[in-house]
Amino acid sequence: MTLAAGLQMPSRETAVAAPETVAIHQPNYFGWLGFFHKVATCDLFVILDDVQFTRRGFIHRNRVKSAHGVSWLTVPTLNKGNYHSPINEIVIDYDQHWTTKHRRTLQQCYGRCRYFDEVCDRIVDPVLRRATAEGLSLADVGMDAIVRICAYLEIRTPMIRSSSLDIDATSTQRLVEIVQRVGGRRYLSGQGARKYMSAELFDAGDIELQYATFDMPTYEQPFGDFVSGLSVLDTLCCCGPDTRTMLGLD
């Protein structure tokens, strides 16, 4: 799938022959720094785009820091009464002019940051322009943002969408079968999954289960004391290419 000039998402066949470590996650909208640490530390990243959309999560929104505290960037959707649809079928409400609102909010939050213009030129503006011009789905917008951020940070981990694998299983078994289908030997999970994931199913599938560890670094932010866990755009606008060092890539 071609995302833009010079940006491509590798197909399943061209991704990797036999990835050692596989990570899987929904296409969060401008996800936090730890999201990209997981992308950078696996051999194949699977975008989980064909599972149920969850409201009030991070698939269609994320947090930024403003002069008045934490604010949300929310992508409006047209899924009223249809909340059981998979992420790749969620339609965005472009009548709300959300791309203009998001750009204005980011300008207010980070306009004075050293790398704001660079991050907008290379990531934010292309994502928002393409979303509006092509009327992309929620999954497409999230994927476009992920690929552009990885390109900026020079993260070259291959990515595929779970919808390309035709997996019918649910919950933990779905993750197990995704890893098996791509030939992986290890599953890299986020810490939060400990609460609901069945480790026994990975053992039964002969897959090693590993939990990602990431300590959020602190850095100088606008508007007072440091706030952790914001959108990666906060880190990028404040730190630019130095974000690579925070991810252990340099």
Q: Which tens digits make up the pLDDT trace of 151-160?
A: 999 999 999 9
128 burial (CB, 10 Å; 0-12 / 13-18 / 19+) is: buried
Are the CB atoms for 27 and 49 separated by under 8 Å? yes
How confident is the model over 218-247, as a mean pLDDT? Answer: 97
Question: Nearest Cα to 18, choosing from 209, 180, 167, 175?
Answer: 180
How confident is the model over 6-26, as a mean pLDDT? Answer: 67
The identity of residue 22, as a single letter, is V
* The pLDDT of residue 13 is above 80: no
211 domain-assigned: yes
Please, what is the average pLDDT of the chain?
Answer: 91
249 domain-assigned: no
Write out the H or E segment, with its range, that includes residue 211: strand 208-211
**DSSP H helices in 88-215:** 98-110, 116-119, 125-134, 138-153, 171-181, 199-204
* The pLDDT of residue 205 is above 50: yes
Are the CB atoms for 202 and 187 separated by under 8 Å? yes
* The pLDDT of residue 2 is above 80: no
**Per-residue pLDDT, 32:** 97
> Which residue range is the domain that position 231 belongs to?
2-244
22 domain-assigned: yes
250 domain-assigned: no
How confident is the model over 222-229, as a mean pLDDT? Answer: 96
Question: Nearest Cα to 25, choosing from 15, 16, 36, 14?
Answer: 36
**Total of domains in the chain:** 1
Tell me the per-residue pLDDT of 145-191, one tens digit each, with 9 for 90 and over: 999 999 999 999 999 999 999 999 999 999 999 999 999 999 999 88
Indicate the pLDDT class of residue 82, thresholds 50, 70 and 90.
low
Tell me the per-residue pLDDT of 56-70, one tens digit each, with 9 for 90 and over: 899 999 999 999 999
**Per-residue pLDDT, 81:** 64
Other CB atoms within 10 A of residue 121 CB: 10
